[in-house]
Amino acid sequence: MKAAILLSKSTSIDITPEELTAEWQKLSAIDGVEFLFLPYDRRPTGQEVSERVPADTEALFGVWIQAEYLNEDFFARHPKLRYVATLAHGYGEIDFEMARRHGVTITNTAYGDTTIAEYAFALLLALCHRVELHSDYVKNTRWWEPDAPKYMYSLTPRIELHGKTFGILGLGKIGLCAARIAQGFGMHVISHSLYVQEGPAFRDIEQVALAELYARSDVLSVHAPLTAQTRGMLNRAAFAAMRDGVLLLNTARGQLICEPDLIEALKSGKVGGAGLDVLCEEPPIGPNELLTFPNVLVTGHIAWLPKTSRMRQVSLAIDNFKAYLAGRPVSVVNGTF
């Protein structure tokens, strides 16, 4: 089987391209697989990907599962394609029936459940305690001078999490990890997903209707996929249904939130603060008022980037491919054949 790997430049300071390449070389241990690296320095367009991927490719790793990349033209150009793996949890809005019609299995790679959940809590703790702000206050003050300010002093209101309600929108693998962390902080966890999650892992998580999730959550952490149904679901009506002062976390996809409505909710105090690792436009190429609020933390879509998870991303993608070749595909996002 001929495989192609879209290989991006490393975006972590602690991982080298050579390390990533060495991890991908483990594909060579699979009998009958030939693979080709297709490196890129910036995110290519769908047309560029279609033109670069050889026409006889049978397995493709690293393509974005979005309509821009996977469409009728792409499948027509690659008639032998049978397997596509995104190197991410999330995926966009494509015609999965179209992929099935072309006999293509599409998988995602759920490598970052723990690290993304941890990052959501890093944002939450930063909102609640503003540790870096207080550290800078201590480090940058000349305490020995007679007019030095107070030392044992809190610059911002502080929020204790114990006993509060942690709401999860999207109780998948990442949401489940976030639930476990929240329970460790002594929070009560409630959640809402499109389908009720069953099994022992979900037994002590209260699953509620969406309206109840909004009404009861002190903290709302977003871990839902981006689909036609979820795009912009966190809008004016949703914010109006939430508790006053709710803290909002989003480490999923920026387009889940209607940003003008969030700005309005922040100004009114309905939303007391937000920790956002994702935006609707990444990077923002024009003014974005969300970047001006002192109670909003924004980072550059980096929740997934620790070295351990980045390497696990590759090893798990290879394991998923082995399962597919063995006739037992896992993490399939376009249904069964």
Alpha-helix runs per DSSP H in the chain: 17-24, 46-52, 72-77, 96-101, 113-129, 131-139, 173-184, 210-216, 236-240, 259-268, 307-325
Cβ–Cβ under 8 Å, residues 269 and 243: no
Determine the Cα–Cα distance for residues 335 and 337; give it in Å rounded to an integer: 7
Strand order in the sheet with 2-8: 34-40, 2-8, 59-61, 83-85, 105-107
Considering the candidates 223, 253, 310, 312, report the single residue annotated as catalytic. Answer: 253
Which of 334, 322, 315, 335 is CA-nearest to residue 110?
A: 315
Determine the Cα–Cα distance for residues 138 and 276; give it in Å rounded to an integer: 27
Matching residue, tokens 């790997």: 5
Peptide bond between residue 260 and the one before it cis (omega within 30 degrees of 0): no
Burial 40-65 (b: 16+ CB within 10 A, else e): eeeebebeebbeebeeebbbbbbbbb
In terms of phi and psi (left: phi > 0; alpha: psi -120 to 50; beta: otherwise), the region of 279 is beta
- 19: annotated active-site residue: no
* Burial environment of residue 333 by CB neighbours within 10 A (0 to 12, 13 to 18, 19 or more): middle
- 158: annotated active-site residue: no
Determine the Cα–Cα distance for residues 24 and 31; give it in Å rounded to an integer: 15
Q: Which two tokens stand for residue 129?
A: 């305690």
In terms of phi and psi (left: phi > 0; alpha: psi -120 to 50; beta: otherwise), the region of 103 is left
- 52: annotated active-site residue: no
Positions annotated as catalytic residues are: 253, 282, 301
